[in-house]
């Protein structure tokens, strides 16, 4: 009898959980926290945004946990970075979510890379002997605030299409976001003029858009090929190149291991800059704050105050 009552109580709790009224007009799920931050900036209080990956996770390798499918099941809009970045985990979630809206090709599916002027699009045939190449182009575009604005524009268009009655709000939010980013952008560029033309070493091919924005050159990568972990002979070569080219900084995301990067940085010598892999969206960080953190890390590194 007791256990029956407990069961009833549990059921009641479950029902009251699910029956909670939906407040947001649009339920948005994004693969990456960076996209979530941009989507939140555009959607404001009209949308509820969930990011599937954490900023501390390598976006190539996320576990397709079933609870993520649950978020997708209830979503009106799925925004992905595209370019095969999430191909290792997102498709199984999309199919498992039983939500036709967010399947590839439908209105509730938005590939944000469509709005980006792409870098590093292979012009020749690619195969896996080149490592983990992205045949559609480099997917790490949200490091560049100009691309962030382009993506926000695309998100606004789709949100207005799906939720026409709030279109004015989305437009206003977009204008505010654009203005905010553009205002900050000038300051960021001024602070990082020192990077212009500077030779840089990066861990993975994540710097394509950053270098396009800030004007530095990535002369070498610690990975011999994208996705292949560093090996001694390659590192020796990178080190030699770094010394020869007088590399100014070594850059890596916080989700990559730091031993090799530290060693290379200390041998060149150049400061090692650990850049955040993504927006800490869960704790309320905005896209502007995220780029601000990225810029200040780079700035500190340039000033020789890197960790």
* Residues 6+ away with beta carbon under 8 Å from 98: 73
Give 186-191 contacts, CB < 8 A, sequence gap 24+.
Answer: 188/145, 188/291, 188/292, 188/295, 189/214, 191/295, 191/299
Q: Does 143 bind other proteins (CB under 8 A)?
A: no
Mark 9-38 with x for binding to other proteins (rule: CB under 8 A) and - for no binding. Answer: -----x--xx-xxxxx--x-----------
According to the binding rule CB under 8 A, does residue 283 interact with other proteins? Answer: no
Residues 214-243 that bind other proteins (CB under 8 A): 217-221, 227-232, 235-237, 239-241, 243
- Do the Cβ atoms of 273 and 251 come closer than 8 Å? yes
Binders of other proteins among residues 158 to 187 (CB under 8 A) are none
What is the DSSP-derived secondary structure letter of residue 119? S
Determine the size of the site formed for other proteins (CB under 8 A).
98
- Does 269 interact with other proteins (rule: CB under 8 A)? no
> Could you tell me the two tokens for 218?
């990535």
Number of Cβ within 10 Å of residue 48's Cβ equals 18
User: CB 29 → other proteins: shortest distance, Å?
Assistant: 11
Out of 177, 188, 216, 256, the only residue in the binding site for other proteins (CB under 8 A) is 256
Site residues (CB under 8 A) for other proteins, limited to 78-137: 82, 84, 87-93, 95-101, 103-106, 109, 111, 113-114, 119-126, 128, 131-133, 135-137
DSSP class of residue 191 equals H
Q: Please report how close the Cβ of residue 193 comes to other proteins at its closest, in angstroms.
A: 22
Tell me the residue ranges of DSSP E strands in 59-127: 77-80, 109-111
């Amino acid at each position: 009898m007791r256990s029956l009552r407990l069961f009833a109580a549990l059921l009641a709790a479950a029902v009251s959980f699910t029956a909670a009224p939906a407040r947001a007009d649009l339920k948005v799920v994004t693969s990456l926290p960076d996209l979530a931050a941009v989507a939140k900036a555009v959607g404001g209080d009209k949308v509820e945004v969930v990011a599937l990956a954490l900023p501390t996770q390598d976006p190539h390798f996320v576990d397709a946990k079933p609870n993520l499918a649950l978020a997708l099941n209830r979503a009106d809009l799925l925004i992905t970075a595209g370019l095969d970045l999430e191909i290792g985990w997102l498709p199984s979630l999309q199919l498992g979510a039983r939500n036709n809206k967010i399947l590839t090709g439908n209105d509730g599916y938005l590939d944000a890379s469509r709005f980006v002027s792409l870098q590093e699009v292979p012009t020749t045939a690619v195969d896996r002997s080149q490592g983990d190449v992205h045949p559609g182009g480099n997917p790490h575009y949200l490091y560049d605030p100009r691309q962030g604005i382009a993506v926000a524009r695309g998100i606004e268009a789709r949100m207005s299409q799906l939720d026409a009655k709030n279109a004015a709000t989305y437009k206003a939010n977009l204008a505010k976001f654009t203005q905010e980013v553009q205002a900050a952008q000038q300051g960021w560029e001024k602070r990082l003029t020192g990077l212009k033309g500077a030779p840089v070493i990066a861990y993975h091919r994540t710097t394509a858009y950053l270098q396009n924005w800030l004007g530095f050159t990535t002369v070498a990568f610690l990975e011999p090929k994208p996705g292949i972990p560093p090996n001694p002979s390659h590192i020796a070569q990178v080190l030699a190149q770094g010394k020869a080219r007088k590399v100014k900084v070594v850059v890596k995301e916080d989700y990559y291991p730091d031993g090799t990067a530290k060693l290379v940085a200390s041998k060149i010598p150049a400061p090692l800059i650990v850049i955040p892999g993504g927006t800490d969206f869960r704790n309320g960080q905005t896209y502007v704050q995220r780029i601000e953190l990225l810029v200040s890390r780079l700035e500190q590194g340039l000033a020789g105050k890197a960790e």
